Structure formats: C-alpha cells, structure tokens
Amino acid sequence: MFEFALAIVLGLALLVWSADKFIEGASATARHLGLSLLFIGMVVIGFGTSAPEMIVSAMAAAEGASDLALGNAYGSNIVNLTLILGATALTMPIRVESPQISKEIPLLIAATVISFLLLLDRQLQRFDALILLSIFVVYLAWAYRSARVIRGDDLAREMAVEIPELRLSFALLWLVLGLVLLLASSRLLVWGAIGLAEHFGVSDLLIGLTIVAVGTALPELASSITAARKHEHDIALGNIIGSNIFNTLSVVGIAGSIHPDTIPEALLWRDFPVMLTLTVGLILVIRRYRQRQLISRIDGSVLLLFFFSYTIFLFVSQ
C-alpha cells in the first residue's frame, strides 16, 4: 500500500510542477516563433492549464481504467465548483463583472446536459466521443472569435500566466522536458491510484472522483486564489468555468475515443446530477445579488461544506 500512496503523492507533485514548466516552455517557444499573444493565450496556455486532467484521463483510458478517467473528468468539475470556488470566495468575495462570464455559464450547462444525454444509455462510444470533441472545437472557435476583441497582453494576463523571457534553446528544453514529465507523472499517478483502489477494495471511480480529481485541479486552485487576491475576479471565475467546459467536452471525448466503455450507474445518477445542480446553482447565486453580482464568503463556506460532505458521503456509501 505504501508504494501506491507514495506514487500518488509524487505523481501529483510532479504533475503540477511539470504542467507549469510545460506552459512556460510552450508559451515562450510560441513567442519566439512569432505567434500572437492571442493564440498563445487561447491555445497554448489554455490547453496547458488543463493538461493534467487530459493526460491523466488519457493514460487511465489507455490502461483500461475508464472509470478512473471519467471520475477524474467529472470529479474535477465538482471539485472546481465546490472546493476551488469555495476557497477562492472565502479568500476574497468574487465580483462578476464581465458579460463573457454570463455567456459561458449557459454554455457549460448545455455541454453538461448534452454529455448526460449522450451517456444516458450508459455507453461511452467513439461516436459519442466524436460528438463531444466536435462541440469542443466549435466552442474553441467561438471563444477565439470572442477573444479577438481583447488585446493580446490582456488575454495573456487573463490566463493568469506570465510568458517568460527565455532563450529559444531553454524554451524548447522546458517544452520537451515538461511534456515528458507530464506523461511520466501521469503514468505514475494512474498506477498508484489503481493500486490503491485494488488494495482497499474501492472502485476506480471513487479514487478518480476524489484523490485524482483534487490533485489534477490544484493548478486551477492556485491560479484562482491568486487572481482573487489581485482583485481579478473574472479571471478567478473564468478559470473554473473554462476548465469545466474543457473537462466535459475534451477530456471525456479523448478518454472515450481511446477506450469506449460502459458508464458506471453511480456516475450517471449520483455524480452527474450533483455536477449539473452545482452549475445551475452558480447562475442562481450570481443573479441573486443582481446589480452587485458576487459570490460571497458565506457562499464560499457553503460550497466548502458541500465538498467535504459530498466526499465523506462517497466513501461511506462505497
């Protein structure tokens, strides 16, 4: 058991560090190649910050552990809407100012509903994965078009990442090394998670919904709290919403295209409704304040309480 727990801890730590280095190397390389800051912000950094969920789920699917892959994707969404949003709001109440946020929340709800309908037969087929990935491409095109009205440097700032000034050789080094370590750490994490699940006799889904989901969501936690402390409220909330859209469409789509499988009944009828309820509740919380549109510290405390209660419930009902 000790080796599995150690693999998870080391895998998560290396995963977060390598994702950061991969983003630095990729963004600096893109700048050396003369790519626009708009492209860097939308594609390079946007994909890089969600790389942990994507690669871990892809690795799990390749190992035949589809429950772990899906648990990671949907569990990360629940973690984002409870632990991360709650901790961020508790640190600093989040004021919603950008109309873009109000547009993206309904898109997230739509993506969640479409995903639910596709999986209603409890089968994740390659055709379902193709639909999710196609919708994701359409979303990227819409987001890119919407972002064209934002100055490139503002967009880079909104991604909560500064593009480092690196020589091309060092940029390429971090790009390659970061990617290699991302793959290695994901493999280590998946091995440890599967081994721990088998040792304690719990499901891969439970491990994916809890330990792995929290670990892969750590980059969003750090960037959202940092943004909130700098009073960049839209960035803090935008990180969470964007990550959830990415997980729902791209991460699940990639996992399904690698290894089609049967969906656990618990995921469909227990975790999916929780995720959808939290997403819809986000709109209700924001609209409740009308002109003041904020997520208060009280809201943050409630979300944190829900996260811990939900996590305890998962283990007790296992």
State whether residue 149 is helix, strand or coil. Answer: coil
pLDDT band at 246 (very low <50, low <70, confident <90, very high): confident
How far apart are the C-alpha atoms of 74 and 76, rounded to whole Å?
Answer: 5
pLDDT band at 194 (very low <50, low <70, confident <90, very high): confident
- Which whole number is the average pLDDT over 124-130? 91
Q: What is the pTM of this model?
A: 0.81
How far apart are the C-alpha atoms of 235 and 159, rounded to whole Å?
Answer: 7
The whole domain housing 295 covers 2-316
What is the CATH classification number for the domain harbouring 139? 1.20.1420.30
How far apart are the C-alpha atoms of 61 and 257, rounded to whole Å?
Answer: 9
pLDDT above 70 for 41: no
218, two tokens: 């750590």
**Cα angle vertex 250, ends 247, 251, to 5°?**
55
Percent of the chain residues past pLDDT 70, beyond the cut: 78
Number of domains making up the chain: 1
Give the per-residue pLDDT at 232. Answer: 65
Q: Which of 159-163, 206-210, 223-227, 246-250 has maximum average pLDDT?
A: 246-250
How far apart are the C-alpha atoms of 155 and 235, rounded to whole Å?
Answer: 10
